[in-house]
Amino acid sequence: MKQISLIGAGKRFNKDWIFQSLDIDFEEGHHYALIGNNGSGKSTLLQIIAGFTTLTKGRIEWANADNQSIYNQISIAAPYLELIEELTTLEQFEFHAKFKSLITGISIQDIIKLIGLASATNKQIRYFSSGMKQRLKLGLAIFSDCPILLLDEPCSNLDKEGYTLYKQLIAQYAMHKLIIVGSNDPEEYAFCTKQINLMDYKH
């Protein structure tokens, strides 16, 4: 089943086209990698899919949703998304869960343990390292009860142990979802069966 369709999609900033004539169907339960050089539009396309920004031409269609309600179906982890620095890890999850349900059958405390932040459960996020913040962002996205998971450079600021954790979390908790990864690092999208090179849409 198609969950997201891009039809004749193009995005321009000022006079420069980031991509054009993009026709893609993203199907339920499949895993896609958006690849291409820096500036090829990976992050921009993910933001369009998430409903954060709009296309310059063409259109995007979401199954059973529009740009006002798509946030209920999508969770996203990206370097540019901000966390609430004054909150603790536990408070951030509790706040997040008020707007986006977490998967059932696992407690917030258990999620915090799984992402390796048990010792920082009651620590304010402002005191986190960049790697700890990325673990938290991944936890919030992967454990949200949403059928679509968007990941933009998901291993940013992670060490080797963090990469291993990322792969384990995807394998155990997200493989049933539609996943779209924007990355130049093959380790981040090794589980994806389809690749879309945005350099092919630089008309």
How big is the CA angle at 18 (ends 32 and 10), to the nearest 5 degrees? 75
Q: What is the mean pLDDT of residues 37-43?
A: 91
Tell me what the mean pLDDT of segment 12-33 comes to.
94
Tell me the pLDDT tens digit for each residue of 74-114: 999 999 999 999 999 999 999 999 999 999 999 999 999 99
Q: What is the spatial distance between Cα 76 and Cα 65, in angstroms, rounded to a whole number?
A: 17
Q: Specify the DSSP class assigned to residue 88.
A: B
Confidence of residue 29 (pLDDT cuts 50, 70, 90): very high
Tokens 């986006």: give the residue. 100
User: Parallel, antiparallel, or unpaired for β 31-35 and 74-77?
Assistant: unpaired
Are the C-beta atoms of 100 and 75 separated by less than 8 Å? yes
Predicted confidence at residue 1, as pLDDT, reads: 63
Tens digit of each residue's pLDDT (9 = 90 or more) over 111-167: 999 999 999 999 999 999 999 999 999 999 999 999 999 999 999 999 999 999 999
pLDDT at position 58 = 97
CA-CA distance, 102 to 195, in Å (whole number)? Answer: 29
Could you tell me how far CA 109 lies from the centroid of its own chain? 22
